Amino acid sequence: MNLHELLLERIDELVGELLPGAQRLRHEFRVGSIDGERGSSLSIDAKTGLWIDHNPGAPEPRQGNLLT
């Protein structure tokens, strides 16, 4: 099992710790930004661990996986 798979198994804990403002909505987490405030522009897929920040003003990188 690789590191990404290990993190994915604990995604609820990981997101809760690193992004306290995140809310889970079915298969994804929504949060304001990588800083963890409330909002919805950043989306994290709970099944794949892939994330994207839809805010055009967000700093690069604006997408990645649990390791980036």
**What pLDDT does residue 45 have?**
98
Distance CA 9, CA 11 (A): 6
Q: How many domains does the chain have?
A: 1
Distance CA 42, CA 39 (A): 8
Distance CA 8, CA 42 (A): 17
**What pLDDT does residue 61 have?**
85
**What pLDDT does residue 58 have?**
87
Which residue ranges in the chain fall short of pLDDT 70?
Answer: none
**What pLDDT does residue 59 have?**
86
Distance CA 47, CA 68 (A): 16
Q: Which domain holds residue 38?
A: 3-64
